[in-house]
Amino acid sequence: MCTAGILQGTSALLLSFDESEVRKIIRICKNVLEYLAITEVVETLEDLVTFVKVNVLSCGHAISVYEGCLIH
pLDDT digits (tens, 9 = 90+) for 16-70: 777 887 788 888 888 877 777 777 777 888 887 887 777 777 777 777 776 776 6
pTM of the model: 0.45
In a domain, 10, yes or no: no
Range of the domain at 35: 21-71
In a domain, 27, yes or no: yes
In a domain, 14, yes or no: no
More confident residue, 38 or 72: 38
Q: Which residues of 56-71 are buried (b: 16+ CB within 10 A; e: fewer)?
A: eeebeebeeeeeeeee
In a domain, 7, yes or no: no
In a domain, 53, yes or no: yes
